[in-house]
Structure 1
């Protein structure tokens, strides 16, 4: 093999390495951007619940003021439906994984499978990880801080 052959092989290997590097960089960037959007979605859903809790709509009257967990969960689902075309437009779609309510705080966990343009749909379930993010908001009593 002459010098021209070695240079050709080195150029081919260099081009393949650069293409592979660009492919991996593009895929990681797409996943990172969708992860940031999922964090924004979780924050928005938690704030929807926390911001509306001051109206008293989530509290059940009784001996002590308690949070109505079913009302909180339905408000999160309504918020997701309202934000599904804007803030919560992530990958193949956002799902609410969990809604945990404590005495003064609501914690919303959302998940989504990101889409990567260069990965075939058949390989997305195995090659692309499912993203899961959690956000919380403080609930306020109807007549002031708890």
Structure 2
């Protein structure tokens, strides 16, 4: 995207729609990575979401420029523009739902890790699991998980 090119509203909305589709896909990958505990995929998805957000911010600036230019010019909305807007709204709703679920999954992960750390740090639990503040074996982690839940 050239920074100084004047884009039409249709071009801007079309680009927003494309980016919104990519964000929905990335949010799905993020959700899967959270469920599976795949930190590498989660990091990639988060980076992609951040980059896409920057592009959307740029498009919002372009849209504001466009709207300021045609502020006093009456214009009829084309059916294509109305459909693009409708599609974007639908994708934004999907994105909102995915991000809400991802926030819940993230919070659950944080709570889970907090509980495990609490078990590790508690002197009584260190004696039970013989951890001395550190996890030594997968078996100890499984014992802690079973005990917490």
Give the TM-score, by structure 2 length.
0.38
Higher helix share: 2
Give the TM-score, by structure 1 length.
0.38
Higher strand share: 1
